Chains A and B, each alone.
Chain A
């Protein structure tokens, strides 16, 4: 089956195969990022600006703010989970409290 991914309710959460999987309001540590100059940004997730699939990863660009320095921004693509079984669509989210490394994508992958 295809993996159906989207952000809904003004970017409040990411749905994977019609199940709410990732929410706003958590703090995500970011490393090797360009949101601010903090080595590890303590990034409050306020909204999901874009979502996409770079198989098998589900990725998102995340809007929010580093609560250490106060800089606002939208991250590059962050892997928020992985489709373990493409046949069933089984999804495993990453531990959002682990360190994330945003990545500039070389190609766009829309969820359609």
Chain B
């Protein structure tokens, strides 16, 4: 039997949601019938709007999908203006202020505290600048990810940016693919380093060569069924198909149509295509694709480039895009570290100005929540690097600042078990100030995800942190499970979970002890990932002890029980929500 969500989608979904959304926005929050809240909030996701968690009713997270993370000249300034004017909540965040932008692990942008009544104005401004929120959430083609420096990269074999852009234009707003059984995440990689992270996407285009009519051609091998959520992580699997770039959209149409027709609409927990790949196997997946969903003969897979993948592979070659890198045209791209992916709005404005002054005005977002200023003239590179903003968002950050990723957490998210972003900021600062770096360690990834949805991609980090609870002195406190040794590369590996339910204030002590053991016991030249891979489960569990240190954690209590974890008066009953378009409190409908 189809789920309730499927029934709502059958009634109204996709593009047609917009006219209803605009009508509600025009009339105000109270115009949404009380008994239709859940249906409409589920549908609004398709237009990039996610109703914030309990205690924050009437406020939305708005996700702006920027394919391949590319913000064209002028667009970042628009995002900053929208955040400044519309993304301010009732209470400031103590680390980031009253308005901020989140750069996500899918190269998108998230704004919070958006009021329904402001949406028409925001959409108008976004769309006037070729930006949008369409399909940023919901059950359809999501924001296309890829190598963030596509077209500007010396390691590139195919410029993935036009391919990502073509997919974006083909499938955004396309009614044939607007109602899928679940989300559909796509990655396009054009370089030989694996920056697109295709291994953790539903559909991955990976660079490969193939002899066609006696001539060696560049194109893409197709992999299907990757994903990290719900304690069921999968790497994408080859279906033995190669396509030239000009057939990228055709194969995307075929694969997503297959998912549309055969994906599980009876159980949302079993709906992602990774489970269909489990059930069918890759051979059947290919056969059904060939027989029912494409009208050309599929070619077998070409010669891939996975052997040279260095991105997030555990070595020191290419852990991210932070730093100064020459482009093929002689200009430079400069990757800047944004701790946990969040920037205060004044800093976003300044970044837009700097990109305009020193580069082409283009800014790109990475899958590690960082930003890249592209096209910096070599003559002005040093001047750019001397800009004060780059002291905060450094192209040469400390490894603990550089490697930190965090999801949204209990600040706004219904699913999260623990506070994440502000905690990870405190972790990174404490580690930087207190923990001696093992020799040669320049890039070390610590990912904090508040729950099993894995938005911070914890399973592919050196140290994986996942939200939990435990008791300390009899009282429930926020805690984290700790995994070690995950990453991508030629042989991707999910982290092994070795320490469970560590109180959050003892995690920095654990990491300090772990790295001391690593330094003591590692073989010469051994990377952290190799060190973990060389040890069995029991040995890994004995590597280090968690302990309290000078680190202080203000978020040990149940942050989910608050209406907003950083409010002085944080009880649910103190929430001003829901509010009207001016932010004035409305009485709850059932009181």
Contacts and interface: CB of A to CB of B under 8 A. Distances in A.
Interface of A: 4, 6, 8-13, 15, 17-20, 23-27, 42, 44, 46-47, 49, 65, 67, 70, 72, 110-112
A15 B414 contact: no
A54 B451 CA distance: 30
Nearest to A27: B476
A25 B410 contact: yes
A111 B1 CA distance: 12
B299 interface: no
A19 B38 CA distance: 8
A49 B269 contact: yes
Contacts, number: 80
A46 B451 contact: yes
Given A44-B417, A67-B470, 18 more contacts: A6-B38, A9-B414, A10-B230, A10-B269, A13-B54, A19-B590, A20-B54, A20-B414, A23-B560, A24-B415, A25-B416, A25-B469, A25-B560, A44-B468, A44-B469, A46-B451, A46-B452, A111-B4
Scoring A10, A25, A67 by chain B CB atoms within 10 A of each residue's CB, the highest score goes to A25
Nearest to B418: A25
Contacts of A6: 4, 38
Contacts of B231: 72
B34 interface: yes
Contacts of A9: 414-415
Interface in B337-355: none
B154 interface: no
A18 B501 contact: no
Contacts of B453: 10
A70 B501 contact: yes
A44 B560 CA distance: 13
Contacts of A15: 38
Given A23-B54, A49-B269, A67-B470, A18 B4 contact: no
Contacts of A65: 468
A70 B469 CA distance: 11
B288 interface: no
A46 B268 contact: no
A46 B417 contact: yes
B400 to A, nearest CB: 27
A42 B471 contact: yes
Contacts of A67: 468-471, 479, 501
B42 interface: yes
Contacts of B471: 27, 42, 67
Contacts of A72: 231
A41 to B, nearest CB: 13
Interface string B465-477: 0001111000010
Nearest to B559: A25
B15 interface: no
Given A10-B453, A15-B38, A18-B35, A25 B417 contact: yes
Nearest to B36: A18
Given A9-B414, A44-B417, A25 B268 contact: no
B37 A27 contact: no
Nearest to B500: A70
Contacts of B4: 6, 111-112
Contacts of B590: 19
B560 A18 contact: no
Contact of A4 (B35, B42, B53, B230): B35
Q: Which 5 A-B pairs have the closest CB atoms?
A: A12-B414, A12-B415, A25-B560, A18-B37, A25-B417
Interface string B402-428: 000000001001111110000000000
Contacts of A110: 1
B75 interface: no
Contacts of A11: 269, 415
A36 to B, nearest CB: 14
23 contacts: A4-B35, A8-B5, A8-B41, A9-B414, A10-B230, A13-B414, A18-B34, A18-B37, A18-B38, A19-B34, A19-B590, A24-B414, A24-B560, A25-B410, A25-B558, A27-B469, A27-B476, A47-B415, A49-B269, A67-B471, A67-B501, A72-B231, A111-B4
Nearest to B467: A25
Nearest to A51: B4
B417 A24 contact: yes
Contacts of B558: 25-26
A84 to B, nearest CB: 13
Interface string B20-36: 00000000000000111
Interface string B166-199: 0000000000000000000000000000000000
A10 B560 contact: no
Contacts of A25: 410, 416-418, 469, 558, 560
A10 B468 contact: no
A112 B418 CA distance: 33
Contacts of B414: 9, 12-13, 20, 23-24
Contacts of B501: 67, 70
A10 B36 contact: no
Contact of B268 (A4, A10, A70, A111): A10
A47 B453 CA distance: 10
Nearest to A24: B415
Contacts of A26: 558, 560-561
Nearest to B32: A18
B148 to A, nearest CB: 27
A45 to B, nearest CB: 9
Contacts of B476: 27
Nearest to B54: A20
B497 to A, nearest CB: 10
A14 to B, nearest CB: 11
A48 to B, nearest CB: 10
A20 B52 CA distance: 11
B360 to A, nearest CB: 39
Nearest to B410: A25
Contacts of A19: 34, 37, 590
A65 to B, nearest CB: 8
A75 B104 CA distance: 34
Contacts of A12: 53, 413-415
Nearest to A13: B414
